[in-house]
């Protein structure tokens, strides 16, 4: 399966919006929804055009054959009015018709309005010599767009987007991953799982995994540093016999503090003594990887409240940062010898309910790599931002490593968190 980034075309079809009589709402609504739900990288192109059949056909062909969009979403022009010709134009460029999408959209809309039967949305595949696109006609109103894409999770009604990622894979396109908080994309058990990042995955010695720990290593190390982490935790009483350990390798990148020498790191580092200059781009890139790793564990059947994210040093920084970025809590977060990156940045303001996750912060009081003052500042910031279940401890005499007393406390934290969800 190709690893290329998905390309999504957004086409709003409206005489008045294309002429500037009013502001188009279809594309902004679509893009906002996609950015909320799609957690894998994607790029998009967009256009607003009038209700003209030949023009719509030409734009669909351009987006599919020339721009190589994997998914093309149109909004507007699907009703019975004389100028509503989007379905006709869509069918005219099709190589295969996918009637189930339109049927499902009308079923969802009929739960709200009887006029749903007037909608004529279509979905088709357009294939050229080396590329195929899925084209889907969506409604024109933002509320209806979200309903048909997302469905009604509270009523166990799936939206159409649950089937779109696998459809795109079947026609040779890239993997699109979704946040299961909003959309649980369906893939049969035989389908290849998305490769997020090179990782070591350690399944339980016996039986199926009932919990997961995602562990991020420190700067210059790799995932093998925590290959025996299960045994270390078991030795001090942590209930991790049935836990899957996901140990990702950080990408290799130049590290400014080390004169640009390339090594594995979750973000660039400029200084140990002064953290005022930070790699916000690298931190954000790693956060997207972390979000995908958590989503993948949910897709593999692990309940969200039994998924743990931890890290040491730079990995601990990313674990702590994730507490501010997660939209909903997970089972627990632990940061060992780390600090909260971007603590003085606007980034920390963009937080959801992830701050309510149980958080463990451990650090050495004699740490000369990550200075204790930065960890202590981070603890106060987490408390200020709403962390209500925060375990924190500074260990006398401990330098920049995972100590025995800290491992015992971490085991108690994991035991408590897992006991609360049993």
Task: Show which residues are catalytic.
Answer: 313, 367, 400
DSSP type of residue 256: G
Write out the two tokens for 277.
């200059």
Distance of CA 273 to the CA centre of its chain: 32
Place of tokens 């979750």: 266
Q: Specify which residues 11 forms β-bridges with.
A: 47, 74
SS3 318: helix
Sign for the CA dihedral angle at 201, 319, 325, 268 comes to negative
* Number of CB atoms found within 10 A of residue 242's CB: 16
| Burial per residue of 209-220, b for 16 or more beta-carbon CB atoms within 10 angstroms, e otherwise | bbbbbbbbbbbe
Q: Which residue has the tokens 């409206």?
A: 14
Rounded Cα gap, residues 215 and 336, in angstroms: 11
Q: What is the DSSP letter of 210?
A: S
- CA dist 264 and 96 (Å) reads 46
Report the relative pairing of strands 157-158 and 151-152 from DSSP bridges. antiparallel
Helix (H) or strand (E) holding 282: helix 280-299
| 79 neighbors 105 (Cβ within 8 angstroms) | no
- Closest listed residue to residue 371, CA positions, set 300, 226, 273: 273
Residue count (the chain): 422
- In angstroms, what CA-CA distances link 331 with 7, 192, 212? 33, 27, 9
Residue 395 CA to residue 393 CA, distance in Å, equals: 6
How far, in Å, CA of 241 to CA of 233, rounded?
A: 10
């Amino acid at each position: 399966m190709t690893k290329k980034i998905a390309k999504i075309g957004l086409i709003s079809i409206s005489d008045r919006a294309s002429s500037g009589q009013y502001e188009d709402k279809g594309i902004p609504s679509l893009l906002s929804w996609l950015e909320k739900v799609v957690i894998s990288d994607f790029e998009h192109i967009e256009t607003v055009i009038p209700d003209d059949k030949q023009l719509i056909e030409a734009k669909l062909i351009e987006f599919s054959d020339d721009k190589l969009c994997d998914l093309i979403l149109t909004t507007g022009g699907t009703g019975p009015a004389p100028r509503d010709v989007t379905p006709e134009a869509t069918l005219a460029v099709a190589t295969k018709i996918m009637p189930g999408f339109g049927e499902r959209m009308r079923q969802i809309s009929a739960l709200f309005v009887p006029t749903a039967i007037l909608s004529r949305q279509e979905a088709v595949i357009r294939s050229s010599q080396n590329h195929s696109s899925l084209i889907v006609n969506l409604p024109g109103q933002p509320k209806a767009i979200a309903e048909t894409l997302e469905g009604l999770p509270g009523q166990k009604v799936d939206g159409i987007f649950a089937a779109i990622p696998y459809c795109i894979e079947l026609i040779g396109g890239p993997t699109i991953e979704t946040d299961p908080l909003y959309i649980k994309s369906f893939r049969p058990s035989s389908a290849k799982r998305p490769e997020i990042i090179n990782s070591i995955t350690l399944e339980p010695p016996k039986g199926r995994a009932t919990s997961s720990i995602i562990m991020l290593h420190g700067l210059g190390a790799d995932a093998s540093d925590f290959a025996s982490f299960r045994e270390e935790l078991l030795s001090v009483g942590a209930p991790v016999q049935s836990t899957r350990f996901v140990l990702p390798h950080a990408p290799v990148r130049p590290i400014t503090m080390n004169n640009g020498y390339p090594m594995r790191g979750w973000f660039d580092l400029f200084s140990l003594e002064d953290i005022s200059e930070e790699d916000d781009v690298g931190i954000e890139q790693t956060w997207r990887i972390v979000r995908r790793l958590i989503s993948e564990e949910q897709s593999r059947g692990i309940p969200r409240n039994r998924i743990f994210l931890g890290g040491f040093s730079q990995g601990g920084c990313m674990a702590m940062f994730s507490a501010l970025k997660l939209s909903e809590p997970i089972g627990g977060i632990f940061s060992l010898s780390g600090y909260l990156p971007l603590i003085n940045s606007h980034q920390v303001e963009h937080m959801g309910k992830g701050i309510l996750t149980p958080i463990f912060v451990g650090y050495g009081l004699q740490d000369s790599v990550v200075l204790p003052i930065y960890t202590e500042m981070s603890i106060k910031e987490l408390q200020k931002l709403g962390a209500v279940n925060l375990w924190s401890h500074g260990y006398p005499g401990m330098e920049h490593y995972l100590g025995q007393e800290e491992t015992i406390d971490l085991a108690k934290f994991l035991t408590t968190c897992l006991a609360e969800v049993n």
